[in-house]
């Protein structure tokens, strides 16, 4: 546990650099602004309008981009600047390193995405159910993306480029081909949580509530397992 906490703190402080946090909070401010604009526009169905905003801006753009930037840096930056050796060459199980890295990245990502999106959902006037749905959907998606992108950052040098390619091609294109393909997309689980919680209609959002929470958590755990495997296999500078 001591090793876990020590690595958690190191990863967290190396991930949450000022420029990154400020840049991504600015994206969060955009969500809040959009929520405010929808609220003052007084739409006929504020819950649906709010849900559309959280889906299109929050789940499709904001959550994955924030997760990509922070999570890919968690071990990726250390591999890049050769400081990974100071964690790797220690009698610490690789799964502890992987779990601590994912937990540290998630501890930065979740508040950065959830707070602005919850405020935005509130400002749309969609009501408490939309806010709760937003918090749960954003948190669950953030966890899943964190697991995926921590592994990606450790494995690939230009993780940001590859991550954006994944988001655009897989999540944005392939997974929209039908409900079967959508099951292989993190966003569809977030959309399903949002539709169930706020009782709205969104495309490709038909995953059962329990599965919509459990599957992304399993994806995050798969990310931890993959990161552990990469830590066993990779060369360390």
Partner 1 sequence: MTEPVIVFDQVTKFFGDLVAVSEVSFTIDRGVTALLGPNGAGKSTVMRMLCGLTPPSTGTVRVLGRDPRRDIDLTRQIGLVPQQDGVFEGQTALQFVSLAAILHGVDDPEAAARGALDLVEMPADDTRKVATYSKGMRQRVKIAQAIVHQPAVIILDEPLTGLDPRQRLHMVEMFHRLGDSGSCVVVSSHVLDEVERFGSRVLVIAQGRLAAEGDFREIRALMDDRPHRLRLRTDMPRELAGALLSAGTAMAVRIQGDDEVLIDTTDIAAFRRAVAPIARQTGAHLFELAGLDDDLESVFRYLVGRR
Handedness of CA 52, 107, 172, 203 (dihedral sign): negative
- Candidates 20, 94, 176, 183; binder of partner 1 (CB under 8 A) is 94
Angle between helical axes of 128-155 and 63-80 (0-180°, round to 10): 30
Query: What is the C-alpha separation between 32 and 115, in angstroms, rounded?
Result: 10
DSSP for residue 129? H
Shortest CB 147 distance to partner 1, Å: 23
- Candidates 40, 44, 91, 180; binder of partner 1 (CB under 8 A) is 91
CB–CB of 50/131 below 8 Å? Answer: no
Contacting range for partner 1; rule: CB under 8 A; set: 35-43, 67-75, 149-157, 229-237: 229-237
Hey, what are 45's tokens? 């169905």
Q: Which of 109, 103, 177, 179 is nearest to 141 (CA)?
A: 109
- Give the x-and-dash track for 3-42 against partner 1 (CB under 8 A): x--xx--x--xx----------------------------
Shortest CB 12 distance to partner 1, Å: 10
Shortest CB 79 distance to partner 1, Å: 10
Residue 93 within binding range of partner 1, rule CB under 8 A: yes
- Reduced to 3 states (helix: H, G, I; strand: E, B; else coil), residue 125 is coil
Contacting range for partner 1; rule: CB under 8 A; set: 32-40, 89-97, 119-127, 158-166: 89-97
Residue 157 within binding range of partner 1, rule CB under 8 A: no
CB–CB of 236/84 below 8 Å? Answer: yes
- Candidates 37, 41, 82, 179; binder of partner 1 (CB under 8 A) is 82
CB–CB of 135/110 below 8 Å? Answer: no
Q: Which is nearer to partner 1, 6 or 129 (CB)?
A: 6
Task: List interacting residues with partner 1 (CB under 8 A).
Answer: 2-3, 6-7, 10, 13-14, 81-83, 85-94, 235-237
């Amino acid at each position: 546990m001591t090793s876990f906490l020590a690595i958690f703190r190191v990863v967290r402080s190396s991930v949450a650099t000022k420029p990154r946090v400020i840049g991504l909070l600015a994206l969060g401010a955009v969500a809040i602004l959009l929520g405010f604009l929808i609220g003052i526009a007084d739409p006929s169905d504020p819950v649906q309008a709010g849900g559309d905003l959280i889906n299109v801006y929050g789940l499709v753009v904001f959550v994955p981009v924030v997760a990509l930037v922070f999570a890919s840096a968690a071990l990726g930056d250390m591999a890049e600047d050769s400081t990974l050796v100071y964690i790797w060459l220690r009698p610490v199980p690789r799964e502890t390193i992987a779990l601590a890295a994912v937990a540290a990245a998630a501890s930065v990502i979740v508040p950065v995405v959830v707070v602005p999106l919850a405020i935005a959902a509130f400002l749309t006037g969609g009501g408490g159910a939309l806010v709760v749905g937003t918090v749960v959907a954003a948190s669950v998606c953030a966890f899943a993306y964190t697991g995926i992108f921590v592994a990606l950052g450790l494995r690939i040098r230009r993780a940001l480029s590859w991550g954006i390619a994944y988001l655009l091609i897989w999540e944005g294109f392939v997974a929209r081909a039908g409900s079967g393909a959508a099951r292989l997309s993190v966003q569809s689980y977030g959309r399903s949580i949002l539709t169930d919680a706020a009782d709205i209609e969104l495309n490709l959002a038909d995953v059962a509530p329990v599965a919509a929470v459990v599957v992304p958590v399993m994806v995050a755990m798969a990310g931890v397992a993959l990161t552990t495997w990469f830590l066993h296999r990779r060369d360390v500078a």
